Chains A and B, each alone.
Chain A
């Protein structure tokens, strides 16, 4: 057994003893505490509406055919800084979006 291993073993044993002695004293993690406070009825921000799910329903939300190449991000990222230089992108080829909703046929 070399010196570094011995040191390591002693250190581990000491650290473990300290950790066990203090095991009851750790606060619950900040985000877990928050999520408990929110309760599970708040949709979208917690475990209740977590991630994508399937339904057998259609949607009346109309997808926009337009694309992001003409858009500038405009959410909370503006609080943290968006490079306006970066926002002026070159459009690759003739890619352009019109942001028109999909046409739907009038019922026969």
Chain B
């Protein structure tokens, strides 16, 4: 197994259908990321593939199922499953979402929105604390794609996330496609969001494609290439943060490997530009 550390380079969301090609050709990709929930079976081909990938590439675990924003207590069984995977695959990064997805034992398979209030802030911080204690390591928390807001919200999302990071010691995962999707759906500029975002806390950047509904609504569908305005946001953020791990997600209508790989090459080009600009 090579070193766990995620490099400040571009990586890709790992799709099982690409594994054979990746293992045969060992392409230049900085690192891979998976959803741990898809590797929580006892055995079988998913684990065989992931173990083979992990021998050659650093890995990040990007959870979708812990329901960190849930009103109930953190799911101890799910946390234990996650810990088992962390011990087995030694990921360089572990991340989760600012969202809830379970209520009273029912799992909704969606990243559901939270009101940004002092009450939810305290709850999320408590859950992040428990998660970090359970894993014995810090995590990154990702900003959501939003379609609506809550009347009761009193805090802006960047400030809310910054406060979670300050109180819990977690880092942040800045998803620039989510910023763009939310900005269009809720009517703000992505630049204003980034201006107020606690960029010092960012440990990873996500990019992905979004779908545009006939009525103009943007859906965070991860079903196509990264959109031009999202690439522009990456260039903007990298100017301020310097190079960071940058990951491209493509989860629906997954393309052939060369098409996905091209997204990583594009992201790497922006990272290289950033490095040169800073060195020069």
**A contact set with B: CB distance below 8 Å:** 39-41, 43, 47-50, 53-60, 104-108
Contact = CB atoms under 8 A, between A and B. Distances in A.
A56 B142 CA distance: 11
Interface stretch (B3-11, B219-227, B235-243): B219-227
Contact of A57 (B16, B65, B184, B223): B223
Interface of B: 16-17, 19-21, 35, 37-38, 45, 62, 64-65, 97, 109-111, 142, 145, 184-187, 208, 211, 213, 215-217, 219-223, 249, 251-252, 254
A48 B44 CA distance: 11
B252 A41 contact: no
Contacts of B186: 108
27 contacts: A40-B19, A41-B20, A41-B21, A47-B45, A53-B35, A53-B38, A54-B35, A54-B38, A55-B35, A55-B64, A56-B64, A56-B97, A56-B142, A56-B222, A56-B249, A56-B251, A57-B223, A58-B221, A60-B211, A60-B213, A60-B219, A60-B223, A104-B217, A105-B217, A107-B215, A107-B216, A108-B187
Nearest to A48: B17
B247 to A, nearest CB: 11
B221 A60 contact: yes
Chain B: interface secondary structure? mixed
Given A107-B184, A107-B185, A58 B219 contact: yes
A69 to B, nearest CB: 24
Nearest to A53: B38
A56 B62 contact: yes
Contacts of A41: 17, 20-21
Contacts of B19: 40, 48
Contacts of B252: 55, 57, 59
